[in-house]
Structure 1
């Protein structure tokens, strides 16, 4: 009998993994509530059910058991995926572990309670009444909701007068009402990337440096990857921290998206960890750099199979770069310089004419994204440091 594998969800990013699963002779089920997603057409079965509708998904699985679960880079997909992994003891990362990592209050408490020192000083509270201990923090501080990603609800606060409006903003976008205030770590190096863990060992760590939008040091528009982007001693220390975290929380094998901020004294600080690939297509750059297929690896992890990726080493210089606007308006097309063509691996524009465009304050305000490969570090920095000069977004006011 064919093994059955379910994918949450069926969007473009999961299509190569679906095709690999089909090539293996697996019975493929796709699940999300978007009939237009292309994976549904290639699946053996497609369920038009929201990945948040756990009751309906459970009812289906009870009648149609599966052997494996893939949610790949989908935050929404991980909600159902990790639930099934935990409920049916399938290979992968459980819902309990996912919730510990992805909710900032749970994650900070876990680090604090398990002997880690690699995190900023913080205070947690529910509601928008600022506790007295938070007022004693030296400025600047970071205020953010504990249950949002993509820079949503985050503010860098430089004075007491700015603190209450920042807390009110974070509270307004939070579903739980849980807020965190933490020290702002001065740095020239914030690290972002994905890693693959197998049998407790970090087998692949594709780590890069965040670059920030002008006049912001909390809103990245790009991550650059390649030799010498991150000093080797810092890379080694980060891999040890990831390995230590995986062991402490009980992850034997899986994929993690990580963010670290390195203080000017060299201290490594966890900022975020998520139990899935990044939403900015970092895995596609990893495929090129390492000569692997993360889509294939995702299916093998879900089946509990060996990955056979020992000794993989990255080569080349890569970046993702967001296309964004400094002002709001109505989208009326975009002009992109032909000089980017030799470096372009992928280009996605998320807006069509007539769509609203917001000023860039969070990830979902992006107009598009480009994945790029460069022959040298110097050429990469020349392009990415001046990336906004290579495109023009036409707006109607």
Structure 2
């Protein structure tokens, strides 16, 4: 039996574990032991932190894994590529590892390649931007190397800049923050698969957030509602961004804004699937593309199968920020719009707790157009 190493064991990695098992792979899951679901669903669980790259590589060589993969985690991607390169499998190069996991270096790479991005500056606690007035307020401040809406802040006046930079640097693994212009407009993401430098756009996703100051993700919709006439300009900007970072293999998740004038502004690109069940669930539900299978195939050196199976007219996920919100989502989406709730989870939390970032949301529910009359074949 072929063996697949999967880096990470939390709920966002579990769909990949289950897909690999469905495909006939023996799954070897690596993660810090903390009771995550992947510890139980893996064929073999290895209690090793995902940042211990050399230890994971040694174990992969010992057990004879055929390939490594992960979804929805920038940190895990670094370990995946480390293992993949050692095995001689398709993988993005070390330069891609650096620029695709550092938001400042990423923006510099975009700018050098002519990709439309927000104006930006680098900051640390001991070194504020030389001329922060070069960027008009409001500003967005975020750690250069974190995801999940951690330590993101909108700053509306100069007296708020230093505290926001301090919070972002404290959350950053390298103690750095990126300060960038605030882009007005609607926020979206683009889900792609790449193989040998050829990119395929699989889905466009509309993002809903909590708004200022932290912009925590509240939900995602597919299809996105982007006008058909604008899609080619989105595709061109996204593919140019992928090329600028050197993403040649695997899944990618591009976050971007459409300004009121219809202009594309790339915010960032992850060289992995989008989290929040976007890549693992919504893409297949709304398009019929088996995105998870594509990730496994590319990791193993096979060209991804772009055939589309049966799918729904629309799919979405909503996240609860307060008690009773999942029930309100049901009223809005099930009773109001006729969608069906496919899966939901309410997590244990302290009464009166406040959501600080994506990891502290109270729960989620995934919806799709009613199974009875809206599921359709790929030929539709």
TM-score (norm 2): 0.84
Change (3 A) 1:28 1:94: farther
SS of alignment partner, residue 107 of structure 1:
helix
Tell me if 1:57 matches 2:56.
Answer: yes
CA contact 2:115–2:240 (8 Å) conserved in 1 = no
Higher mean displacement: 32-41 or 137-146: 32-41
Gap regions ≥5 residues in structure 2: 371-380
Question: 1:268 is matched with which residue: 255, 264, 267?
Answer: 264
CA contact 2:249–2:298 (8 Å) conserved in 1 = yes
Q: 1:1-26 CA distances to partner (integer Å, 9 max, x unpaired)?
A: x4332111244444454444345444
Q: How does 1:153-164 map to 2 (within 5 A)?
A: 153-164=151-162
Distance of 1:334 and 1:160 partners within structure 2: 36
Higher mean displacement: 12-21 or 341-350: 12-21
Change (3 A) 1:344 1:315: closer
CA contact 1:128–1:168 (8 Å) conserved in 2 = no
SS of alignment partner, residue 81 of structure 1:
helix
Distance of 1:318 and 1:288 partners within structure 2: 6
The equivalent of 1:230 in structure 2 is 226
Distance of 2:201 and 2:96 partners within structure 1: 21
Distance of 2:92 and 2:108 partners within structure 1: 19
Change (3 A) 1:362 1:44: closer
Tell me if 1:309 matches 2:325.
Answer: no
Higher mean displacement: 51-60 or 309-318: 309-318
The equivalent of 1:167 in structure 2 is 165
Shift of 1:308: 2.4
Higher mean displacement: 209-218 or 149-158: 209-218
Tell me if 1:241 matches 2:232.
Answer: no
Q: 1:233-289 CA distances to partner (integer Å, 9 max, x unpaired)?
A: 332212122222333433333100110012233321111111111220012011111
Distance of 1:208 and 1:54 partners within structure 2: 32
SS of alignment partner, residue 274 of structure 2:
coil
Tell me if 1:205 matches 2:202.
Answer: yes
Question: 2:189 is matched with which residue: 189, 192, 196?
Answer: 192
The equivalent of 2:289 in structure 1 is 292
SS of alignment partner, residue 129 of structure 1:
coil
Shift of 1:169: 1.9
CA contact 1:144–1:153 (8 Å) conserved in 2 = yes
TM-score (norm 1): 0.81
Q: How does 1:1-397 map to 2 (within 5 A)?
A: 2-34=1-33, 36-41=35-40, 43-113=42-112, 115-187=113-185, 189-213=186-210, 218-226=215-223, 229-283=225-279, 284-309=281-306, 316-325=313-322, 336-337=327-328, 339=331, 343-352=340-349, 355=350, 358-374=353-369
The equivalent of 2:377 in structure 1 is none
Shift of 1:146: 0.7
Q: How many residues align?
A: 363
Change (3 A) 1:242 1:311: farther
Distance of 2:217 and 2:302 partners within structure 1: 36
Distance of 1:365 and 1:45 partners within structure 2: 28
Distance of 1:165 and 1:194 partners within structure 2: 34
Shift of 1:167: 1.7
Q: 1:102-124 CA distances to partner (integer Å, 9 max, x unpaired)?
A: 210110111122x2241011111
Please tell me the root mean square deviation across aligned C-alpha atoms, in Å: 2.9
CA contact 2:153–2:214 (8 Å) conserved in 1 = no
Distance of 1:315 and 1:218 partners within structure 2: 29
- Would you identify which runs of 4 or more consecutive aligned residues in structure 1 move more than 6 Å? 311-314
CA contact 1:204–1:312 (8 Å) conserved in 2 = no
CA contact 1:125–1:180 (8 Å) conserved in 2 = yes
Shift of 1:134: 1.4
Q: 1:111-141 CA distances to partner (integer Å, 9 max, x unpaired)?
A: 122x224101111133343233113321111
